[in-house]
Amino acid sequence: MDWEYWSQRLVEEELVENGGYNEYGTSGVGGRAAGVNGNGPTKLVDPLEDPVPGVGTYEDFNTIDWVREKSKDRDRHREITSKSRQSTVALLHSVSDAFSGWLLMLLVGLMSGALAGGIDISAHWLTDMKEGVCLNGFWFNHEHCCWTSNETTFQERDRCPQWKSWAELITGATEGPFAYIVNYLMYIVWALLFSFLAVTLVRAFAPYACGSGIPEIKTILSGFIIRGYLGKWTLIIKTITLVLAVSSGLSLGKEGPLVHVACCCANILCHLFTKYRKNEAKRREVLSAAAAVGVSVAFGAPIGGVLFSLEEVSYYFPLKTLWRSFFAALVAAFTLRSINPFGNSRLVLFYVEFHAPWHLLELAPFILLGIFGGLWGALFIRANIAWCRRRKSTRLGHYPIIEVLVVAGFTALLSYPNSYTRMSGAELISELFNDCSLLDSSQLCGYQQPSNISETGVGNTLADRPAGPGLYTALWQLALALVFKMMITVVTFGMKVPSGLFIPSMAVGAIAGRLLGVGMEQLAYYNHDWIIFKGWCSPGADCITPGLYAMVGAAACLGGVTRMTVSLVVIMFELTGGLEYIVPLMAATMTSKWVADAFGREGIYEAHIRLNGYPFLEPKEEFEHNSLAVDVMRPRRADPALAVLTQEGMTVGEVESLVESTHYSGFPVVVSQESQRLVGFVLRRDLLISIDNARQRQEGVVSASQVVFTEHAPSQAPDAPPPLRLRGILDLSPFTVTDHTPMDITVDIFRKLGLRQCLVTHNGRLLGIITKKDILKHMAQIANRDPDSILFN
């Protein structure tokens, strides 16, 4: 094994060791080094006594050092607290610093709620514009246009003289084949125009504005840096193109992108507060709260949003962040409620009011829906990842505009003839969740009317009735819509436009649930005497509620795709107001997760993180291999020796040469090349910035100047250039493990502390280094995946 080789090598090296170990007193975590020489210590002017711009920051596509960031924040807080006892001004500064987090949450909630309200209203207006225009003002959508009209009827509540279809405007005819063709063509033209504008704006101004955004936000919250992903251009373009993409009729939702929009708002507002602007770990606490805000404004579900952030997105979620997330989600929900984008004075997106309670025996079909949701989720993830991988590896990926236009055109072409695919995803789900009343004009309520009033049930309930021709037609259309939605969503998710997955997944589940619900309803109506219906489903009673099955199916399919559980159930009952249906939702959600996990433990977001090669250590994934740290660390047996710096003896020129000849993010600092006793760790970026700064600010620093990481400089010849002291940028307590540490413990250390690298020692001597990328590559090899798919560190 590798550890035997390294042990033998260490024994050989110990024979020639120069005995300097005791003098420096360094062990595994690098103690203070005392420079000892004949002339006594020489005190240097340390160029790092004043803060150097850039030191302590990170390059793009790198992982932050959580431990260092938290330590910086503790030092800052300690300093503010100690100063607050000295003067009133300092005390006020301390109070404002403590309050700044809550003020930031207030601003994030207000900004995100306002943007979400604007997106909802704009998307509704542009979606209706594909079918016609309002003569009273083109800025009115169909519903608002007909609100004040006195000429609408109950049966045709969408018809009013103020709203004109494109066929009426162009040809003057409302009915007939020619009018249908004109409306059909205009629908396709608008869909192509909206999708073309969306993909062109994304390509031209903000390439990061495409997709859902949740996989990248999960990666950013784990400590990865993607510059510009949460910037102002991304926010502006994502907001505009999200409206266009949703309005184009593509099979996508705005819920995932709204999480991205809220995180962009939070990131931009963080720059107003020094505490969050200068500390990457503190900023990620704000971004965790912003993810909760995104779901809160997407669904009108503030509690579900907080749980979503905790369960699905966040990597580090302290109790303080939980409270602030709750406050921010509350503010955002209140702002959205004030704007009232749905025009119904309710915060919930799909308010339901089922009159009949569910029966225990109905758990069987609910669990069946859970199985369907799990199977659909597993199938969707595999198909979508295969399609996205094909997009990356073939010429298809070179033509994103053509791909979007083809998919949008194909979607519009097949959607228009079917009323259930023509309407927006949110409208479709709302229709499927609806419980039929006696005067409901929807096709889904096309039952045979009761012959006498006694058959209509008791109170507000409506007795189960036999299906009529209208319902049979609706069921056929729904079956076709189900197949279409399942197929088109696979190719739509991942295109270069903002695209969420919540609404398409819920639509698939709601359709399946409604079909099963109507089937159960008819089964109960025609077979009251069966043993399963006896005792609770007598003739003339309202036994089965198809809308409830749609709701359970929606939760099951969304759970199968995302593997959410607790947050999903809470989101669903907040979304619908159906508090008494928690048990059916829980049963279906858990079943869908178990079934989907049987085919693969990754949800859609984790699968996309892996596809893109981001360095994300999944907290839910178990490490079951029995390897040791020495098996994973670098350098391996055949590799060149580990690139290290010595605490004294190297010149500026030698350090610069070593840095330029390698691509490592940092370098261990050792006592000497012979002893390899560890002193500390220095980051490449800090090293380069400090040397460059010293050349400009410290007189006499040249390539021949010695670089020292000790407190006192060694003796030098009188004519030697002044040394460069860089102890200020040295991490004197890098995390170390021994060569025999099991990898499952090492992986846990990386996960729980958010490490970017860990040094491997043997008896206090440096042996190698393990980075986050090394761990991910090792895990990929164990799982028989390509280790080179991990692109970033």
Chain segment 285-339, per-residue pLDDT in tens: 999 999 999 999 988 889 999 999 999 898 888 888 999 999 999 999 999 888 8
Chain segment 453-511, per-residue pLDDT in tens: 444 444 445 666 777 788 889 999 999 999 999 999 999 998 999 999 999 999 999 99
CA distance 334 to 113: 8
List the structure tokens of 229: 């992903």
Mean pLDDT of the residues in the chain? 84
Exposure class string for 748-763: b at 16+ Cβ within 10 A, else e: eebbeebbbbbbbbbe
CA distance 283 to 57: 13
| CA-closest candidate to residue 371, choices 603, 599, 595 | 595
Q: Taking the domain 362-612, which CATH number applies?
A: 1.10.3080.10
Instruction: Read off the pLDDT band of 793 (50, 70, 90).
Output: low
Of 3.40.220.10, 3.40.50.720, 3.10.580.20, 3.40.50.620, the CATH number of 629-789 is 3.10.580.20
List the structure tokens of 602: 């990754």
Task: Read off the pLDDT of each residue in 759-771 and give the average, rounded to a whole number.
Answer: 90
pLDDT at 403: 93
Task: Read off the pLDDT of each residue in 175-180 and give the average, rounded to a whole number.
Answer: 86
Beta bridge partners of 63: 224
Chain segment 197-254, per-residue pLDDT in tens: 999 999 999 999 998 999 999 999 988 999 999 999 999 999 999 999 999 999 999 8
Instruction: Read off the pLDDT band of 26 (50, 70, 90).
Output: very low
Tell whether the model's pLDDT for residue 5 goes beyond 70. no
| CB-CB contact of 618 with 607 (8 Å) | no
CA distance 336 to 113: 5
| CA-closest candidate to residue 305, choices 273, 320, 338, 327 | 327
Task: Read off the pLDDT of each residue in 57-63 and give the average, rounded to a whole number.
Answer: 82
Kindly tell me the sign of the dihedral angle through the C-alpha atoms of 315, 317, 321, 326. Answer: positive
pLDDT at 636: 82
pTM of the predicted structure, to 2 decimals: 0.87
Residue ranges, CATH 1.10.3080.10, the chain: 362-612
Residue ranges, CATH 3.10.580.20, the chain: 629-789
